[in-house]
Amino acid sequence: MKLVCVDCSKEVPAHLFDYQCTCGGLFDIIHDTSAIDAEQLKRVFHERLSERITPYASGVWRYKELIFPELPEEYITTKYEGNTGLYASALIQSYVGSNSKVWLKAQSENPSGSFKDNGMTVAVSHGRSLGYQRFTCTSTGNTSSSLAMYAALAHHESYVFVPNKNISLNKVMQTLAYGAKVISFDGTYDDGIRFYEQYSKELGLYICNSINPFRIEGQKSIVYEIAQYLNWNLPDWVVIPGGALSNVTALGKGLQDLKNLGFIEKVPRVALVQAEGASPFHRMVAGGHTELTPEPNPYTRASALNIGNPPSWKKALRTLEETNGVTCSVTDREILDAKAWVDKSGIGCEPASAATVAGLRKLIAGQVIDKDETAVCILTGNMLKDTDALQEYHLGESAQASYPNKIISSQLTLKEIGAMLS
Ligand SMILES: N[C@@H](CCOP(=O)(O)O)C(=O)O
């Protein structure tokens, strides 16, 4: 295993771990897979589906050989993350106007309620193996909840920086309740990352944001799991939301692993969906530019996507190139309407996740995605991560007329209502 800089291609042995190269570029982790017997490994992954107790019962560590083969088991900090549902939803298929199967991959079912757990279990385990006892991140709330949970499990400390506005209080409370020291600051996630880039050495804390390549390695398991559940036949499209862009980066890296090992024959196309108010990456791609212009004041109601200067944009661009991918942006209204249908389907998600369903609908309407093509939308966070969004949508002044279910209120007694219903 070695670290390779995405900017200057400098190679560094993994034991000299750092977040950034001396040139300022982020590192990728590259594994030596030459000794892997792919068929044998597939059988091992299959056998581990019936594990209950060992770390291999985790939907991340099930794939340890492709994620972090060198890690001694004693450092693994797991809550059996992953193992999340993959649902084919007829309701969502009809909502997006598709003739073909649409799956929802519910990363929202992870132990802390978001996809961050897939990467965090690996980052915290790696940090422990290096001897760290204090962990940190800056976050709009999902990364911080996940970090706080794993740090607590490992009996270690976590220090979390959260913007003082435009994030969900539920997530901040979840982080606090897991025992993190929560420091609210005047700024955005982007400011927090800049701070770490400058001070990571002096802090002496292990950084758990996605500038840490071990986070990306763990998040690759999301697409491994989808592929394994579908017997190694992926849908035509994978639709994914984009904020910090770690998810799409990991998706691309995971797809290349599967292809290179011969686990899958065809690489699906990737559709990356951003919220209109925080869409610097989409604007770059749509404008045919090769450099990202940061958005200084990102704002979307899908607060997990409130990121104007995504650190992983170069890695994300590679995913698009390798998968013949596309990008699009959707409005907050489109996101919240799509969310209402994902919730009604019984699966549920936080607003950021619903950008995928809104994006799929838009891309089908625009004939970028064919109605006859299959797709999987990755849902990143749980419905209860942002209960304000639920209230605003269902009870607020602009409660949506398009949504069929309302609270039925009446002056009748329960006995009278019972008589009416019988
Ligand atoms: N929405 C994210 C933003 C942080 O991204 P990361 O991948 O760098 O941790 C959050 O939950 O904080």
What is each CA distance from 308 to 199, 270, 283, 346, in whole angstroms? 21, 21, 11, 32
Query: Would 170 be classed as within a structural domain?
Result: no
Among candidates 229, 224, 116, which has minimal Cα distance to 174?
116
Instruction: Kindly report the protein residue whose alpha carbon is nearest to atom 12 of ligand 1.
Output: 139
Secondary structure of residue 236 in the 3-state scheme: coil
Specify whether 378 is located in the same domain as 300.
yes
Which of 292, 120, 93 is CA-nearest to residue 212?
120
What sign does the CA torsion over 414, 419, 420, 422 have?
Answer: positive
Q: Within this chain, do residues 26 and 102 fall inside the same structural domain, yes or no?
A: no
Q: Residue 401 has what pLDDT? A: 60
Structural domains of the chain, count: 2
Q: 92 with 25, same domain?
A: no
Residue ID of nearest Cα to ligand 1 atom 4: 139
Mutate to test the pocket of ligand 1, among 143, 274, 313 (most ligand atoms within 8 A of CB): 143
Q: What are phi and psi of 14, to 5 degrees?
A: -60, -30
Domain that holds residue 96: 86-113+217-395
pLDDT value at position 197?
83
Residue 386 lies in a domain: yes
Atom of ligand 1 lying closest to residue 142 CA = 11
Q: Running DSSP on this structure, what letter comes out for residue 25?
A: P
Strand partners, 181: 159
Same domain membership, residue 379 and residue 295? yes
Are 357 and 351 in contact, with CB atoms under 8 Å apart?
Answer: no
Compute, in angstroms, the gap from residue 420 CA to the centroid of ligand 1: 50
- Is 149 domain-assigned? no
For residue 142, the CA-to-ligand 1 centroid distance in Å is 6
| Residue 396, both tokens | 């607020």
My answer on whether 244 and 338 are in the same domain is yes
d(CA 287, CA 294): 14
CB-based pocket (< 6 A), ligand 1: 137, 139-143, 189, 209-210, 243-244, 246, 304
Atom 1 (ligand 1) nearest CA: 304
What's the 307 CA to ligand 1 centre distance in angstroms? Answer: 9
What's residue 399's pLDDT?
A: 62
State the 10-residue block means of pLDDT for the chain, 422 residues long. Answer: 96 93 95 95 98 96 98 98 98 98 98 98 98 96 98 97 94 98 94 88 90 97 98 98 98 98 97 98 97 96 96 97 98 96 97 98 98 98 96 78 75 91 88
**Nearest-5° angle of CA 276, CA 388, CA 239?**
40
- Work out which ligand 1 atom sits closest to the CA atom of 211: 8
| Alpha carbons 89 and 96: distance in angstroms, whole number | 11
Let me know if residue 60 belongs to a domain.
no
- Residue 304 tokens read as 């997990």
Find the length of the chain. 422
Would residue 296 count as lying in a domain?
yes
Residue 266 within a domain: yes
Quick check: 128 and 156 in contact, CB under 8 A?
Answer: yes
Give the SS3 label for residue 328. Answer: strand
Give 116-149 as a DSSP string.
Answer: HHHHHHHHHHHHHHTT--EEEEE-SSHHHHHHHH
Whether 3 is covered by a domain: the verdict is yes
Residue 26 CA: distances (Å) to CA of 23, 337, 341: 9, 36, 38
User: Is residue 20 in some structural domain?
Assistant: yes
Distance 210 CA to ligand 1 centre (A): 7
**If residue 387 lies in a helix (H) or strand (E), which one and from where to where?**
helix 387-395
CATH at residue 377: 3.40.50.1100
